[in-house]
Structure 1
C-alpha cells in the first residue's frame, strides 16, 4: 500500500482558516505541514493523535529493548527459580 501524501497548507491558514485547519487535523489524525514562503515551517497535529503516536513510539522502543536483551541473554529462568527469588525478596522486605 503506498504511503499517503502528506497534508500541506500555507501557514497563513492558521490566521484565515484556523477552524478548518483544526477540523482537518482532527479528522485526518495526520500531521499537517505548514509552509511559509514555500518552506516547511511547523507541523500541526491533533492532540489525541499525537499522544497515540507517542505511545506507539514508546511501545516500539520497549520492543527494541526487549529484542536486544533477548539477543544477549542466552539463558532462561525457570518458574521455580523465579518463585524462590521472589520469596527471598519478600522475606527481606518482611512482606
Structure 2
C-alpha cells in the first residue's frame, strides 16, 4: 500500500520523508486538499523506472514500424503466401 500524506508533512519532515523514500524505494504520494499533488521517489528508482519506460516505448515503436512496413509491402503487392513461405522453409531446412 503506498504512503499517502498531506504536502504539509513534507514541509515539516523533509529529511525523514526523503530517508523513507530512499530506504523503501517506494513512492510517497503527497496530497493537497485531499487530492494527489506530487510524488516523492528515490532518484535511483526514478531513473530505473524511466529507463524501463523508455525501453518499452522504443520496443513498441519498433513493433509498430515493423507492422507498418508489412502493411506497405502488402499494399505494394510484395507479399508471399503462407503456402509459399512454408514451402521455402521446408526446402531450406529439408523438412
Query: Partner of 2:81 in structure 1?
Result: none
Taking structure 2 as the reference length, what is the TM-score of the superposition? 0.63
- The structure with the larger Rg is 2
Residues 14-66 of structure 1, C-alpha deviations (whole Å, 9 max, x = no match): 12221221011112222211012322222111111111111111100111011
**Structure 2: distance between partners of 1:36 and 1:56:** 29
Taking structure 1 as the reference length, what is the TM-score of the superposition? 0.63
Query: Partner of 1:24 in structure 2?
Result: 20
Compared with structure 1, are the counterparts of its residues 72 and 41 closer, same or farther at alpha carbon in structure 2 (3 Å cutoff)? closer
**Structure 2: distance between partners of 1:29 and 1:60:** 21
Q: Give the structure with the higher percent helix.
A: 2
Which stretch of the first structure deviates more once superposed, 29-38 or 59-68? 29-38
Q: For structure 1, which runs of at least 5 residues remain unmatched after alignment?
A: 76-95
User: Deviation above 3 Å: which 4+ runs of structure 1?
Assistant: none
Query: Partner of 2:52 in structure 1?
Result: 56
